[in-house]
Amino acid sequence: MSRIAIQDFKNKETRFVRIILKWGKENKRSFPWRKDRTPYKALLAEILLQRTPANRVAKFFPEFVNKFPSPKTIAITSFDNLREFLHPMGLKKRVEWLSSLIKEVCDKYNCKIPDQEDELVKLPGVGLYTARAILCFGYGKDVSVVDVNVARVLSRVFYGSNVRKRPSEDKALWKLADKMVPQGLGASYNEALLDHAALICKKNPLCHKCPISVLCSYYKSGQAHSHKCKIR
């Protein structure tokens, strides 16, 4: 890549971050796990949000936190009680995962959620995305958070294509994401990116509402028009 091309790419990254932050400030979604942040709430949210719509989780999240306000309260409750509480929410399959994860947190870390990535990824069911989400949203660290939805946005904007592999296996995408996290604004930026992926850059993108289309390689290539995107 030539020096000019590299500079253009860096300028694109800078503009992308600026636009996403501005969009997020104006369109941020409100969820209970985004208020009074704690590492425990961040962990709970990631577990409960697995394959469950955010709006659905938002309805019972406050009740869950009120019933189990700390890792220890989950650790000391019986498996049957936890299952009975989660069953009406349609989350009975999460009980075993949540129970084993919290048990390990309490056994190894005195019921304190670890604040190091290498320790988090060793917990049952915790991958790179969940670990980074806890570090960013629970501990306020400026780290990238890339799930399949964020990967879709970054792939389209910077590479002109949809996601080609699982985000956890795409080292180049994580490297790109790592470079763009603005210092001191990691949580705001990552939340804005997640919200933009959920509301605008969906599988069938709403390009006519997207402020990033001016930068988007996917949009400029014409591929987006197969989704009936309107010209801004």
CATH number of 147's domain: 1.10.1670.10
Q: What is the pLDDT of residue 135?
A: 98
DSSP 3-state of 175:
helix
Residue closest to 149 by CA, chosen among 215, 225, 99, 201? 201
Distance CA 149, CA 169 (A): 15
Indicate whether 232 belongs to any domain. no
51 and 123 together in one domain: yes
Domain stops at, among 92, 111, 138: 138
43 and 134 together in one domain: yes
Domain stops at, among 138, 165, 180: 138
74 and 10 together in one domain: no
Domain stops at, among 138, 157, 176: 138
79 and 150 together in one domain: no
Distance CA 129, CA 172 (A): 15
Q: What is the pLDDT of residue 90?
A: 73
Decide: 201 and 177 in contact? Cβ < 8 Å: no
Q: What is the pLDDT of residue 43?
A: 96
Residue closest to 142 by CA, chosen among 179, 193, 195? 179
Half-sphere exposure in the Cβ direction for 185 (13 Å, CA): 14
118 and 161 together in one domain: no
97 and 76 together in one domain: yes
77 and 120 together in one domain: yes
Contacts of 123 (CB under 8 A, 6+ apart): 101, 104, 105, 114
Which two structure tokens, joined as six digits, stand for 3?
A: 């020096």
Q: What is the pLDDT of residue 31?
A: 96
Query: Domain span at residue 97?
Result: 38-138
42 and 134 together in one domain: yes
15 and 44 together in one domain: no
134 and 147 together in one domain: no
Please identify every stretch of the chain with a pLDDT value under 70, giving residue numbers as ranges. Answer: 1-9, 164-165, 223-232
| Number of domains, the chain | 2
CATH number of the domain where residue 51 is located: 1.10.340.30
- pTM, whole model, 2 decimals? 0.88
161 and 212 together in one domain: yes
Indicate whether 72 belongs to any domain. yes
